Chains A and B, each alone.
Chain A
């Protein structure tokens, strides 16, 4: 049973455009939702995270939108750059993030110059 569903599997965006990746979760006990960026051969790097008591969080060009009633959250990358080309994973956990993370399957993002 996949508890975090991520889409799309792959995404191509023109430089300067907006990249949008969506995730949906099933477990209502989840209370911490981070996004990670991973380059080939590297470990995941934490980008941004949100808790369900807010509907949006912005850090630089990265924004998380959160819809608690729909059990969905999304990552928006504004002014996408070729350096943003990577695999992005959404994740969720309970216990304020103390528990192990449940990851989506990832989105391969390619930013075309």
Chain B
């Protein structure tokens, strides 16, 4: 099976812009979670989607949002970018929030 794919892999934006990141889970996986990873804060949970519904959300401002499509693909959006949003954004999938999370390679976002 193909693994979790994320696009784009690298992105440079300026403050105030918005960005949309995409994640395609492993075939058959219906749960998709998003994480932000920074050197200072480590890996932090953003939100989890299952069957197009957000089931859980971490402690991030409303500028961070996401959605899931009927084919389980997911997107996350960050509006009004800030310098502190520079990070590696990781997507992980699982069958139905099983314990093991399968991570994608991440999207490296740099905000200038």
Decide if A and B are genuine partners.
no
Residues of chain B having any CB pair with chain A under 8 Å: none
